[in-house]
Chain A
Amino acid sequence: MNAKRTDFIATVVIDLIVASVVGILFFLLAYILTAGLPHVSWSFLTGATDAFSGAGGIGVQLFNSFYLLLLTMLISVPISLGAGIYLAEYAKDNWRTSLIRSAIEVLSSLPSVVVGLFGFLLFVVKFKIGFSVISGSIALTFFNLPLLTRNIEESLSAVSRSQREAGLSLGLSKWKTELGIILPVALPGIVTGIVLSAGRVFGEAAALIYTAGQSAPVTNFADWNPMDPASPLNPFRPAETLAVHIWKVNTEGLASNAAALSAAASAVLIIAVLLFNLGARLLGNYLYRRVTASK
């Protein structure tokens, strides 16, 4: 009887805990969406920001976020693909490999503010590039590489050995086997990982404050020449992203409607991240069906 009562109490307590965790999430989402969405409008999404107070629209910040994301992915996907193939295919089981693995682990466990400071030190202080899109996207690459590499390695290693043996027995090189046979099979997992990491990169701010900078100079969206200083594509201009903008509006608090402003910006950010998460799942499933020809 006693044991049964304890069991009952424990079950009730656990149920309450789960209910409160679910409640926290729903509260968070409901709060951001109800506080933020009423302020989201087309002019807010595309409008210019007041450079002094930070009030106004988030058009430039939104563009910066996507541009930084694109550049980060362009740099980090090929590198982590190569590194993932190395770990899955070429790495032998010895001390050197375990050293490499622990280096990747260390990189992934470093706080993002430390990664950002390293980027600041390297690009802004040493190379004197200044706060710029390119500094920011390389800092984000440092932050993104370990997770993406591990994800790609896991997806590649999960492909069955017989597929590898089939390729090698046809006389293909290891490299060709990996690119032509293993990679397509592992693609759904890899793509899911890439899109998920895109969501993480999109919301990252600590690594960007001192690399991409905290200002969004007015850019001329009619000018698409990357070499022009006023062009939105110029990789050497400072670029405050949406996440950095939320932080800045909240900490400096110069805008009179800071709370409404950052609620709206947070709502946009959350929706973007949710879309990334959903997109990762849908795209992964779609590719899986295409590759395996299963329903």
Chain B
Amino acid sequence: MEQTNSQLKNQDTQSHEWDTRLHHATKATHEDWIGRGISYFCIGIIILVVASMLWFITSKGIATFTQNHVSLWKFLSGTNWAPDQGKIGALPMILGSFAVTFAAAIVATPFALGTAIFMTEISPNRGRKFLQPVIELLVGIPSVVYGFIGLAVVVPFMRHLVGGSGFGIISATFVLFVMVLPTITSMTVDSLRAVPRFYKEASLALGATRWQTVSRVILRSATSGILTAIIFGMARAFGEALAVQMVIGNAAIMPKNLISPASTLTSQLTTGIGDTIDGTLPNNALWSLALILLLMSLFFNALVRFIAKRGQLKHER
């Protein structure tokens, strides 16, 4: 009887031990909770940063319209930018930004395509060993250095070539062309490399020349990737501040031609935001320019997504 009792007791403690082992978290589980907590915390910070950035800039940017009661249409279509006198027409800057962005993309795209085709189709070996570092170096050069070279080389050159001050949209285009070239090139290279090998082999087997293969098969099947690359380049050009600001001349007037001083959203922001007082109309107007920049960046982002989705659908079909 006594024996069974102790046996029972023994069993009891054993089952109790099993109970704690089975029903309570192990050391590993605890570790996992902590790890999970840390990584959730980190991702939380990033989300918080993005959300507050969108919130702050939006709320500052719409103050022009909600507090100063400037009509949105007047802001977007007005051609007179003199915030001290209450005139805030942002069209000169908007036009300036779009002009340099499109011009830079149009000039850079053929160069980027040519370089990418060379790197993938004509001489992949030299492409990897020699051109890849060239592109990486171009990406690595800081934008103030591009601006400085623009100021020291491009602006005097334009002054010689066409007269005037040399500052203007065309100088900004030159500088931005070199800056977006590596972005567009490296992304185009990726999309050309992603074209299935057998497309190329099939085309060559049909007797097509290399150029026929490239232009009618490879470029065509990589179209969505190339478009994405160009849009990324345009987004970079649109948001570039200092290099453009140094060579465009910063005159907030409607751009009449390509060789007279103009301004962009970013150049106006960098020159103006330090000189205005928080909460006043001139300051709010600048934040509205920042809001346009933000919205355009979101728009470019959405465009990339849209193209990626369309591209995927086409491949699946």
Contact = CB atoms under 8 A, between A and B. Distances in A.
Interface stretch (A53-61, A157-165, A171-179, A225-233): A171-179
A13 interface: yes
Given A14-B122, A109-B297, A269-B142, A206 B241 contact: yes
A40 interface: no
A46 interface: no
B211 to A, nearest CB: 4
Main secondary structure of the interface of A (DSSP, over half): helix
A270 B143 CA distance: 11
Size band of the A side of the interface?
A: 35 or more
Contacts of A190: none
B216 to A, nearest CB: 11
A124 B205 CA distance: 65
Contacts of A14: 114, 117-118, 122
Size band of the B side of the interface?
A: 35 or more
B70 interface: no
A147 B269 CA distance: 25
A32 B297 contact: no
Interface stretch (B15-23, B47-55, B157-165, B195-203): B47-55
Interface of B: 28-29, 31-32, 34-36, 38-43, 45-47, 49-54, 56-57, 60, 110-111, 114-115, 117-118, 122, 130-131, 134, 136-138, 140-145, 147-149, 151-153, 178, 181, 185, 208-212, 214-215, 235, 238-242, 245-246, 266, 269-270, 273-274, 278, 287, 290, 293-294, 297-298, 300-301, 305
Nearest 6 pairs of A and B residues by beta carbon: A111-B239, A175-B35, A203-B142, A82-B42, A17-B114, A86-B39
17 contacts: A28-B141, A32-B149, A80-B42, A86-B43, A102-B301, A109-B301, A111-B297, A112-B239, A118-B53, A118-B57, A121-B57, A142-B53, A179-B35, A246-B144, A250-B144, A266-B149, A277-B140
